[in-house]
Amino acid sequence: MPMSAKTTPDSSRSQTLDRGLSILEFIASTDEAPSIDQVSEHLGLGRSVTYRIIRTLEDHRLVVRDANGKLGGGNQLLALAANVRSDLRASAMPALSQLANTLEMTSFLVVPDADEVVTIEVVEPSRTAAHIAYRPGTRHPRTKGAPGIALLAADPKVSSARSAVKAARKVGWAYSESEVIQGMASVAAPVTTQPGEPVAAIAVVHLAANFDAQTVAPAVLHAARSLENKLSSSRT
């Protein structure tokens, strides 16, 4: 069933802008570059409407089309994203880099966004021939995946019956397998600047078949505490 673009009955909001943002979100979330027809079908919009919006996005270099008519993000998106949580991302880079190269696994920084979590920084290990590629902008429900579970566990206002959240509250880190990417496992630890206020989670991802959570967790916890200390010292 096609997923309709968000409806905005409030007349103070722009339906055209809402549709354009929905198109950008869809293009960014797909593993394979979609065509205009696929975007139109997925969002439940007419092809002519979809085409006009995409042409406008192209004019602003937010979307590009290849020779086969497939759509991808334009270079202007990089400029817009450059300052997204730039202070947090910059503060996290040393801890993420050390974590990635110590464990030889891809490390990443995740922040909450309403009922979802979104990856805002990724560091791949520099000394391994094979590792998991993971891209900034990846998002998933907060109830799935180790980073989401870690953020839920660190928030005392959240009441969850899920055993993984309860376990994370006891040990300080969360584990998940095949919840976001099939065959992949992840360990994450929350980053809090004040008790009960998780601002982010630091995580690593690797093939589930070669993943020992108990061995990985101490390094992830250390990275999260390192970032906490840096954020706290910058506030004083």
Co-location of 140 and 199 in the same domain: yes
Q: Which of 80, 115, 130 is the last residue of a domain?
A: 80
Summarised one tens digit per residue, pLDDT across range 133-190 is 777 878 889 999 999 999 999 998 888 778 999 999 999 999 999 998 889 999 999 9
Mark whether 151 and 124 lie in a shared domain: yes
Single residue among 80, 96, 130 that ends a domain in this structure = 80
- The answer on 201 and 130 residing in a single domain is yes
Tell me the residue type at 115: D
Using DSSP's 3-state secondary structure scheme, residue 30 falls into coil
| 5 inside domain | no
Burial of 81 (0-12, 13-18, 19+ CB in 10 A): middle
* Confidence (pTM): 0.71
Domain final position from 38, 55, 80: 80
Structural domain including 54 reads: 15-80
Please check whether residues 55 and 103 belong to one and the same domain: no
CATH number of the domain residue 69 falls in: 1.10.10.10
> How confident is the prediction for the chain on average, in pLDDT?
87
Domain count, the chain: 2
The residue-averaged pLDDT of 179-205 equals: 90
Say whether pLDDT at 85 is over 80. no
Please give the Cα distance from 155 to 160 (Å, whole number). 10
